[in-house]
Amino acid sequence: MSAMPRSTPVNKALGRPRDVDSATTRRDLLDGARRIFARDGFEATTNRSIAAEVGITTGAIYHYFPSKAELFAAVYDQAQSIVYDGFEQAVSGSGTLTERFQRVLDAAVEFNRYDPSLGGFLVTVPLEVQRHPELADLMAPRRSRSGGFISQMVAMAMANDEFVEGVEAQAVEDIIAIVVSGLAIFSTINGDADRHAAAVRALSQFLEGDLVRRPAPG
């Protein structure tokens, strides 16, 4: 997987953004809002806290987004694009389902080191949507890329006849989704990128059958 892009320095100029800086300021706004939403949650996040994070006035936020809910939805679009573009690149080569899944886990480790707010934000979205009806209406047309991405990985494995008889594709999709989201939640709670990476390494060993010693023949 290619190296993550460096974050662009935040534009500290206050006031209404100039048109020439509009795209950069919008990106900085999405990045800053993602960090605050991931840290504080949707309800506790304020325009003031986002503006302070980005280095603009609260009024400048409305130049880009008419409401906090619209901003949240845009952050979701951006975070999904960053993460799942990276995941799709990670699995683009050849390999079995286990090998592809391990590359996804490695990519998740890299994302977590680059910007932990990506996973930290995405894992909060389902609960925030349940809590806030205004988000539910906005997010309904925005189908999560997670389900489609995992389904494609499992479908490819099925087509390659990788599974033993009796394995249910939906069950495999569910366990992959649980592992990916569970590791993201774990990382968000403990805030330790090294610990997250160590957990992924142990899981990879488990998948390869190298985690525990086999009992000696008796």
Question: Is residue 128 domain-shared with residue 75, that is, in the same domain?
Answer: yes
Q: 33 lies in which domain range? A: 10-64
Question: Is residue 142 domain-shared with residue 49, that is, in the same domain?
Answer: no
Sequential pLDDT tens for the chain (218 residues):
444 444 444 444 445 445 547 888 999 999 999 999 999 999 999 999 999 999 999 999 999 999 999 999 999 999 999 999 999 999 988 899 999 999 999 999 999 998 999 999 999 999 999 999 889 888 888 877 888 899 999 999 999 999 999 999 999 999 999 999 999 999 888 888 999 999 999 999 998 888 888 777 76
pLDDT at 18: 53
Question: Is residue 80 domain-shared with residue 56, that is, in the same domain?
Answer: no
CATH number at residue 36: 1.10.10.60
Q: Does residue 24 belong to any structural domain of this protein?
A: yes
Question: What is the domain count for the chain?
Answer: 2
Q: Which amino acid is at 35?
A: R
pLDDT at 11: 47
Question: Is residue 32 domain-shared with residue 76, that is, in the same domain?
Answer: no
pLDDT at 146: 83
> How far, in Å, CA of 178 to CA of 190, rounded?
18
Q: Does residue 196 belong to any structural domain of this protein?
A: yes
Question: Is residue 141 domain-shared with residue 201, that is, in the same domain?
Answer: yes
Question: Is residue 24 domain-shared with residue 130, that is, in the same domain?
Answer: no
Question: Is residue 55 domain-shared with residue 87, that is, in the same domain?
Answer: no
Q: Does residue 188 belong to any structural domain of this protein?
A: yes
Q: Does residue 152 belong to any structural domain of this protein?
A: yes
Question: Is residue 129 domain-shared with residue 204, that is, in the same domain?
Answer: yes
In DSSP notation, the chain reads -PPPPPPPPP----SSPPGGGHHHHHHHHHHHHHHHHHHHHHHH--HHHHHHHHTS-HHHHTTT-SSHHHHHHHHHHHHHHHHHHHHHHHTSS---HHHHHHHHHHHHHHHHHH-THHHHHHTTHHHHHHH-HHHHHHHTTS--HHHHHHHHHHHHHHHTT-SPTT--HHHHHHHHHHHHHHHHHHHHHH--HHHHHHHHHHHHHHHHT-SSPPPPP-
Nearest to 142 by CA among 154, 130, 125, 158: 125
In Å, how far are 34, 43, 88, 136, 145 from 129, measured between CA atoms?
15, 11, 26, 5, 16
Q: Does residue 76 belong to any structural domain of this protein?
A: yes
pLDDT at 5: 44
pLDDT at 218: 63
Q: Does residue 29 belong to any structural domain of this protein?
A: yes
